[in-house]
Amino acid sequence: QKEVEQDPGPLSVPEGAIVSLNCTYSNSAFQYFMWYRQYSRKGPELLMYTYSSGNKEDGRFTAQVDKSSKYISLFIRDSQPSDSATYLCAMSYNNNDMRFGAGTRLTVKP
């Protein structure tokens, strides 16, 4: 079993849809949870960063962490074609060594 599991997709949605992206993990020591967006052949760009459990909202993006279920989610509201990218979840117990999911490829169709 991988330490971080993420459905690789691909996921295709129409413009304006709500997108839900998820990861599960096995290491209960993880305390820091991140979502990165990565365009093709580019470096990952930080979208959301949360510590411990709870929700965090930033514009059209909402991140949720449920440590009891070892489950994290990213919601994208009013999705746009420019949101088409690979979304990576990442987590860490010490904010140093980050463990990534394999990434979910998202396409938002106009």
- The contact set with other proteins (CB under 8 A) reads 4, 6, 8, 32, 34, 36, 41-46, 49, 51, 88, 90, 94-103
- Which residue lies nearer to other proteins by CB, 17 or 53? 53
Instruction: Report the nearest approach of other proteins to the CB of residue 82 (Å).
Output: 18
| 69 vs 94 by CB, closer to other proteins | 94
Residue 19 CA neighbour count, 13 Å, CB half: 28
Q: ∠ at Cα 89 (87, 95), nearest 5°?
A: 135
Phi, psi for 49 (deg, rounded to 5): -140, 120
